[in-house]
Amino acid sequence: MTEEERREEEKEEDLVELISVQGEMNAQVIAVLLESEGVEAMMRSHQTFSALPFTVDGMGAVRIMVRKEDLEKAKKVLEEYRHDEDEDNPIIRKVLADWEPPDEPPH
């Protein structure tokens, strides 16, 4: 294993799931929202990302991952957008409607 691969593996071990959403488009909207607030976000999925937005039998779930140390800030960002009366982005409203913030990850 190269030094770069080792660093990438360590970086991935430091990630926790913030939210799981249906579809790549919804995931990208949330990831961009987080990144615009200074929170690095990574998308993980079992599906192959493509230009075709089709999913079968729930296989379109995409998990948004953040660093453990950014989890509280990320939750706060999503909470603020969820309760923002002026937020007019229907995707954000739809995705966050039933979202429950995750518990603290084990240390």
Q: If the chain, 107 residues long, is cut into consecutive pieces of 10 residues, what is the mean pLDDT of each piece?
A: 66 84 89 95 75 56 93 93 76 80 65
Number of independent structural domains in the chain: 1
The whole-number pLDDT of residue 9 equals: 61
| Alpha carbons within 13 A on the beta-carbon side of 10 | 7
Q: For residue 15, tell me if it sits in a domain.
A: yes
Q: Distance between CA 18 and CA 105 in Å, rounded?
A: 10
Question: Model-level pTM greater than 0.75?
Answer: no
Q: Which domain holds residue 89?
A: 3-49+59-96
Rg (CA), the chain: 15
CATH of the domain at 90: 3.30.70.1530
